[in-house]
Amino acid sequence: MPGIYIMAVITMLASAVFWGGMVHLFSGRTGRYLWLIMLGLPLSVVVNLGLKPALALWAGQITNVPPGQGFSKLPWWFLFFLVMLTPVLEELIKVTPLLLPRARRRIQDRAAAFWVGIMLGVSFGLGEAAFVAYAAAQIPDYASLPWYVLTGYAGERFMMCLWHGIMTCVFVMGLQRRGGWRVVGYLAAISLHALGNAAPVLAGLGFIPAWVTSLWITGIFILAAFLFERLRRQVGRESGITQSAGEIVYFARADVPKQP
Amino acid sequence: MERANQIEKTIRIFKPRSSYGWTWLIAIALLSLITLAPTIQSAEKIQPPVLLLTAGLAGAVFIGGFALAFWFPTMRYELDEQTLTLRYGPVLNYRIPLSQIRNIRRRDLSLTIWSSIRFPGIALFTVPYSDVGNVKMCATAAMKGILLVETDKAKFGITPADEEGLVTAIQARIVE
């Protein structure tokens, strides 16, 4: 068995426990969002093995672009289409679990939309970790590596879970606001996804060296953490989650001179 | 000598609540060791700056984790006539002049996603919280039942075992 499968199991378990635990802690320990982590697991495989190749092939047929060409030989507009196919399809499929009435009922307010989006995105990220492991295992150079040297894969997939969570929560929060916000949320999620994919795509096309990708992903993770905190504070203020209910004031005085 | 004895008499030592926070520090140290092993194993294939950075970071976490776990039993709060001092080994020494304390309250805190030295059962150095901002922690809990000591300049988080005893002693000294 390729070593990457062992690392994939470790990564998925660690990511599920960590991000699921964070959502549980930060959302008021209600546990009402945890089950959502199951719903997005198969979606990465569906979109990457089913929808994306089929749509790319179909688009190639109607525009007379033959399949199997290298990126460098593709017309720029078709290349752009292929690059944007991933964000457009993935951001859409990540919210399909909301077609289930039980999942949709969870979105009662903005705070709930935030946590539902985070969980659905993390769930998709976990499934994607499995898909990436499967794809890498088809490459002999990767398949022969022992599992314990694949810490780069583990770190990247762990970070990507949060990034997927942020993108999905932006869309779900748009859905919760209804009206034109649904389109705004979707476009914002697509834009964030395209931003995250920019360095890997440019490296794949040979425009930038491969090592920039690792730096980029770290930067994206920091951006994800920043957005997570900002949005969480915003929805927390609205729902009152961050207030400490059982505070005991032992001692307080107003006569302390202000320090220079 | 007499003066030293007198000072010693006036210093009261308060221990923190017990916790297993030290196990997290050891776990983190071991985790960094696991990441260090493949780096060293494939050192020939990695560029020297990258190798140095990876090994340096993992090594620092490994040593730091074990050192902090080793000093865990030294966590204490010292109260003299003028100052409350929070100590943790030789690496943490926060001095809070009693005259600058504005309020003392016990509350649960809400974490942020930003990295800091805080795990279940331990929180050290500056930890960002989403509800009260940055808090200088020297505590055996990260979120639950934190005694927040607020001055004009900073907030400090502690978890004394004898919470009421410490607060009463501080109040008595401030009144004097």
Q: Is there a contact between A251 and B113 if contact means CB atoms under 8 Å apart?
A: no
Residues 50-89 of B with CB under 8 A from A: none
* Domain identity same for B114 and B62: no
In a domain, B13, yes or no: no
Q: Which amino acid is at B145?
A: G
CB-based contacts of A16-23 (< 8 A; 24+ apart in sequence):
A16/A122, A16/A126, A18/A158, A19/A118, A19/A122, A19/A161, A19/A162, A19/A165, A20/A119, A20/A122, A22/B113, A23/A115, A23/A118, A23/A119, A23/A122
pLDDT band at A25; cut points 50, 70, 90: confident
Contact (CB, 8 A) for A253 and B103 = yes
The DSSP bridge pattern shows strands B146-151 and B155-158 to be antiparallel
Q: Give the mean model confidence (pLDDT) for residues B159-169.
A: 95
Percent pLDDT > 90 in chain A is 63
Inform me whether the pLDDT recorded for B112 exceeds 70.
Answer: yes
H/E element holding A43? Answer: helix A43-45
B122: CATH: 2.30.29
Contact (CB, 8 A) for B25 and B122 = yes
Residue B112 with chain A: CB contacts under 8 Å = 229
Is B153's Cβ below 8 Å from some Cβ in A? yes
pLDDT band at A151; cut points 50, 70, 90: confident
Q: What is the pLDDT at residue B2? A: 57
Q: What is the pLDDT at residue B9? A: 57
What ipTM was reported for this prediction?
0.76
* Domain identity same for B26 and B107: no
Range of the structural domain that residue B33 is part of:
21-70
Q: From B39, which residue of chain A is nearest by alpha-carbon distance?
A: A149
Contact (CB, 8 A) for B75 and B159 = no
CA gap A185, A162 in Å, rounded: 17
Give the DSSP letter of residue B111.
B
Q: What is the pLDDT at residue A260? A: 45
Q: What is the pLDDT at residue B14? A: 96
Q: From A28, which residue of chain B is nearest by alpha-carbon distance?
A: B110
Q: From B34, which residue of chain A is nearest by alpha-carbon distance?
A: A148
Residue A228 with chain B: CB contacts under 8 Å = 113
pLDDT in tens, A187-217: 999 999 999 999 998 988 888 888 888 889 9
Is B175's Cβ below 8 Å from some Cβ in A? no
Q: Give the mean model confidence (pLDDT) for residues B2-23.
A: 80
pLDDT in tens, B131-149: 899 999 999 999 899 999 9
**Domain count along chain B:** 2
Q: Where are the domains of chain A?
A: 3-239
* Domain identity same for B93 and B159: yes
What are residue B126's DSSP bridge partners? B136
* Domain identity same for B58 and B92: no
pLDDT band at B42; cut points 50, 70, 90: confident
Q: Is there a contact between A225 and B37 if contact means CB atoms under 8 Å apart?
A: no
Q: Identify which of A22, A242, A248 has the shortest CB distance to residue B106.
A: A248
From A126-140, A244-258, B78-92, the region with the lowest mean pLDDT: A244-258
* Domain identity same for B88 and B142: yes
Distance from the Cα of B95 to chain A's closest Cα (Å) equals 15
pLDDT in tens, A227-259: 999 998 888 777 665 545 678 888 887 665 554
In a domain, B6, yes or no: no
Last residue of a domain, one of B70, B101, B131: B70
Q: Is there a contact between B110 and A244 if contact means CB atoms under 8 Å apart?
A: yes
Q: Is the pTM of this model over 0.95?
A: no
Q: Identify which of A151, A228, A253 has the shortest CB distance to residue B113.
A: A228
pLDDT band at A47; cut points 50, 70, 90: very high
